[in-house]
Amino acid sequence: MENTHNDDCCALENGERKSHHSEKHKKNLVSRLNRIEGQIRGIKGLIEKDTYCDDIITQISAVQSALNSVGKLLLESHLKSCVIERIQDGDEEVLDELLVTIQRMMKK
């Protein structure tokens, strides 16, 4: 059964699934991504300045950790909202989708 209500967390909009995050949650994610973006620019600057490789690798590791943290937050909210909602609507295909997503995250 497809979910078509725009106020639902995983509503279909123009044939595409959309998430619905609270403004607070969205602000938190965007803020984290902005910091990560700044870290990436910083790494680029380190490379341009011929900074010692080990120092650059340390910064890259910090960015990877920060991205993993954002991914975990998104996965948690996805499980607590979209996945539960779709299962309650009788859409058990979401479990296969979730398994693929978790496998993708674990490869990193």
Q: What is the pLDDT of residue 4?
A: 39
Q: What is the pLDDT of residue 62?
A: 97
CA dihedral angle for residue 43, residue 45, residue 47, residue 52, rounded to 10 degrees: -80
Q: What is the pLDDT of residue 18?
A: 79
Average pLDDT along the chain, 108 residues, taken 10 residues at a time: 46 73 93 98 98 98 97 94 93 94 88
Q: What is the pLDDT of residue 108?
A: 63
User: Which pTM was predicted?
Assistant: 0.80
Q: What is the pLDDT of residue 11?
A: 62
Q: Which domains does the chain have, with CATH numbers?
A: 22-106 (1.20.58.1000)
